[in-house]
Amino acid sequence: MWQSGELRSYLKYSTPQINFNNVGVQHPEYKSGNSIMSANYDEGTIKTLDWQEHIRRRPGMYIGKLGDGSSADDGIYVLLKEVMDNSIDEFMMGFGKKIVVNVDQDKVSIRDYGRGIPLGKLVDVVSKMNTGAKYDNKVFKKSVGLNGVGIKAVNALSSDFTIKAVREGVGKEVYFSKGIKQGEKDLTGVEEENGTEVTFVPDVNVFKKYRYISDYIVNMMKNYTFLNSGLTVEFNGERFYSRNGLRDLLEENMDHDPIYPIIHLKGEDIEVAITHGNQYGEDYYSFVNGQHTTQGGTHLQAFREVLVKTIRDFYKKEFDPSDIRASIVAAISIKVEEPVFESQTKTKLGSRDIGPDGPSVRAHVGNFLQKELDNFLHKNPDTAEVLHRRIVESERERKAISGIKKLAKQRAKKSSLHNKKLRDCRVHFNSSHELKEASSIFITEGDSASGSITKSRDVNTQAVFSLRGKPLNTFGLTKKVVYENEEFNLLQAALNIEDSMEDLRYNKVIIATDADVDGMHIRLLLITFFLQFFPELIKKGHVYILQTPLFRVRNKQKTIYCYSEAEKEAAIDQLKGKPEITRFKGLGEISPDEFQNFIGKDIRLDPVQMKKHESAAQMLEFYMGKNTPERQDFIIDNLYVEKDEVA
């Protein structure tokens, strides 16, 4: 159960900023006949950039989005991962069973105990593109990265970067700043164990205001140990180790007991863990060569398809795929020679084959799963019986609401309300990955707030959905309420998540409500809806709270928007005299011209997160269930905390 003060932590986290750079939206200046297009084009316009300058000018090409650390896939975590991947590759080759990671505010250090980078090439591997040992398959047959770019990007995007290698009592240490070498030192008589240590500080000129969130790093470190049984990772003094691989991963990440013991299957270059729960949706963890492919790819697609075929063959019944996969929690890890990913950040596998001489990814996954899962179910009839009951229950529920779904779709199609509630953006399903990453939808309360945001938004990437009054408390209700309740039915349709989370239309789902009691209540009701029926939205980091200013402090020379009492007092001191102070009571009071300051590049978003040990069912029961004495005590205790904080 949550302790005092944790409800605020649930709704209030860091204050990230969306970065719209490198999105790919055509800028209005780039039109035929414009002066930019008609500028002189000659030899003088052709430039050759140094490697580090190119990375610093186009960081998105190398590490994806920049971010400020509020999302698990922000650039500062990619930098950490790129260094870790090199150490993991050493472990995979049989060298070094421990990696030590320390993060002190903005300074990161990673020390492995592998062979140590050859000293004569220490400078080259971090400062020359297309340089590394991973091009030699004899050394790194199934490596995480093969393009020789990762650690160079870390170097170029760090204000301070140091790399040290130790081999048999001798070593070398080299210092860089923003990719430019500052000096080096030869080391003799070194008593340290062999290995490599990298220390870096992300450049604030690139990442602006950023901070590392330890929960994201802990999750990353745990994944490394789940995928590399026998590896010990120490992060800021905390030790992580896994004996049972993906089985440990599922046990760690599930917030409820599985309905049958986890099925854990291991083969050559493939490992799978499968179980079912009682939650809605499908929950998958997929990996390639130790890389967490958060967007799946060919291996996950094969797994989902072959799972259905194997289950159908075992029970000799053509179950609907959605009934088989309903409430599944599964993990798959495969190893591929020279994997091809769909982006530099390696979040989606594009490889069709396991290797130059190997089978296709689908055949590799399919042959293994069909044989091993079928054998397991035959040997474990109790598990097979529980799984069969779960599938039948899903089938029964699906059929029970099929008529309601059909009527709801017909009603929505005929109603003009849908168009009034949703102001879509120009990003569509066939848009590029970069555009989808930048897309967002604001869920607002009332016409005035939605009107202000609609007039202020970026029509290319920002959509608006308007609620009518307070939504229903869905705690304890079945999924048919999603279709019977017009608000939730239309919201589900707007997000396009009825059939699969993979069809989610917007990358960020932003709850934009007033900063008062009613607004807080609406936030809780919406979060309850998502946790109850679409938990993956929150688990995958798609749901955010929009922070809007509480005060405007201004004089004739300057205007400052303040998001707290402390910021207001600081603004008053800064402007001196008697500045004009305005308290915004609701989003509808903020003019569209002012709103542009709050939902553009300086937008403040609080990600809605759940810690791994927290149970969604228990949390919803406590906060949204019956008004128990325990909850009354919690509210009273927190009211006193709030008063003390204000005082």
- The mean-pLDDT minimum among 143-147, 589-593, 605-609 falls in 143-147
- According to the model, what pLDDT value does residue 467 have? 87
Is 382 found in the same domain as 322? yes
Q: How confident is the model at residue 1 (pLDDT cuts 50, 70, 90)?
A: very low
Q: How far apart are CA 366 and CA 19, in angstroms?
A: 40
Based on the domain organization, do 455 and 492 belong to the same domain?
Answer: yes
Cα 544 to the center of its chain, rounded Å: 12
Tokens (6 digits) for 41: 């084009």
Residue with the larger pLDDT of the pair 381 and 434:
381
Contact between residue 444 and residue 512 where contact means Cβ atoms under 8 Å apart: yes
pLDDT at 646: 38
Considering the domain architecture, whether residues 544 and 579 belong to the same structural domain is answered as: no
Range in 122-126, 426-430, 469-473, 589-593 with the lowest mean pLDDT: 426-430
DSSP3 helix / strand / coil % (the chain, rounded to 5):
40, 20, 40
Greater confidence (460 vs 355) lies with 460
**Could you read off the pLDDT of 61-76 as tens digits, one per residue?**
888 888 888 788 889 9
Whether 567 is in a domain gets the answer: yes
Domain CATH code at residue 334? 3.30.230.10
With cut-offs at 50, 70 and 90, classify the pLDDT of residue 24.
very low
Rounded distance between C-alpha atoms, residue 197 and residue 199, angstroms: 7
Give the residue, 319 or 593, on which the prediction is more confident.
319
User: Is pLDDT of 167 > 80?
Assistant: yes
Torsion of CA 102, 104, 107, 110, to 10 degrees: 0
Query: Where is pLDDT greater, at 174 or 499?
Result: 174
3-state SS assignment for residue 219? helix
**Per mean pLDDT, which range of 7-11, 312-316, 640-644 is the poorest?**
7-11
Q: In the prediction, which pLDDT does 627 show?
A: 67
Helices within 228-344 (DSSP H only): 246-253, 298-315, 321-325
Please, is 548 exposed, middle or buried when counting C-beta atoms within 10 Å of its C-beta (0-12, 13-18, 19+)?
buried
Give one word for 520, left, alpha or beta, with left for phi > 0 and alpha for psi -120 to 50.
alpha
Beta strands in 148-269 (DSSP E): 158-167, 170-177, 180-187, 195-202, 232-235, 238-241, 263-267
The predicted structure's pLDDT at residue 150: 83
> If you average pLDDT over residues 451-471, what whole number do you get?
87
Q: Is the pLDDT of residue 218 over 90?
A: yes
Residue 181 burial (CB < 10 Å; 0-12/13-18/19+)?
middle
**Rounded percentage of the chain residues whose pLDDT exceeds 90:** 34
**pLDDT confidence of residue 130:** 58
* Per-position b or e across 583-622, b if 16+ CB within 10 A of its CB: ebebbbebeeebbebbbeeebbbbbbbeeeeeebeebbbb
Residues 120 and 149 in one domain: yes
Domain limit, last residue, from 204, 222, 241: 241
Is residue 127 predicted with pLDDT exceeding 90? no
Co-location of 486 and 609 in the same domain: yes
Tokens of 405: 């779904």
**pLDDT grade for 39, boundaries at 50, 70 and 90:** low
Residues 148 and 210 in one domain: yes
pLDDT of residue 140: 52
Final residue in a domain of this structure, among 194, 216, 241: 241
Q: Are residues 457 and 600 in the same domain?
A: yes
Range in 43-52, 300-309, 539-548 with the lowest mean pLDDT: 43-52
Residue 499, burial from CB neighbour count under 10 angstroms (0-12, 13-18, 19+): exposed
Q: Is the pLDDT of residue 23 over 80?
A: no
- Residue 638: the pLDDT is 66
Q: Which residues are within 8 A (CB) of 401 and not within 5 positions of it... i.e. 6 or more apart?
A: 478, 479, 480, 483
Is the residue at 405 inside a domain?
no
- Domain assignment present for 20: no
Higher pLDDT, 38 or 126: 126
Residue 114 and residue 181 share a domain: yes
- Between these two residues, 503 and 389, which has the higher pLDDT value? 389
Are 97 and 224 part of one and the same domain?
yes
**pLDDT given at position 642:** 41
Mean pLDDT of 93-112: 93
Residue pLDDT, tens place only, 359-390: 888 889 999 999 999 999 999 999 999 999 99
217/268 same-domain check: no
Residue 54 is assigned to a structural domain of this protein: no
* Mean pLDDT for all residues in the chain: 81
pLDDT band of residue 32 (cuts 50, 70, 90) is very low
Least confident span in 396-410, 479-493, 547-561 = 396-410
List Cα–Cα distances, 133 to 137, 210, 223, in angstroms.
Answer: 9, 32, 25
pTM for this structure? 0.74
Q: Determine the pLDDT at residue 293.
A: 85
The number of distinct structural domains making up the chain is 4
- Distance of alpha carbon 595 from alpha carbon 120, whole angstroms: 56
DSSP H helices, 338-426, are 361-379, 381-414, 417-421
Expressed as residue numbers, the domain containing 578 is: 551-583
> What pLDDT, on the 0 to 100 scale, is given for residue 33?
42
- Domain contains 31: no
Same domain? For 141 and 263 the reply is: no
Q: Which is more confident, 447 or 26?
A: 447
> Which H/E stretch holds residue 284?
strand 283-288
- Token output for 571: 């603004």
Q: Is residue 2 part of a domain?
A: no
CATH number of 468's domain? 3.40.50.670
Q: What are phi and psi of 629, to 5 degrees?
A: -60, -35
Whether the pLDDT of residue 263 is over 50: the answer is yes
188 and 269 share a domain?
no
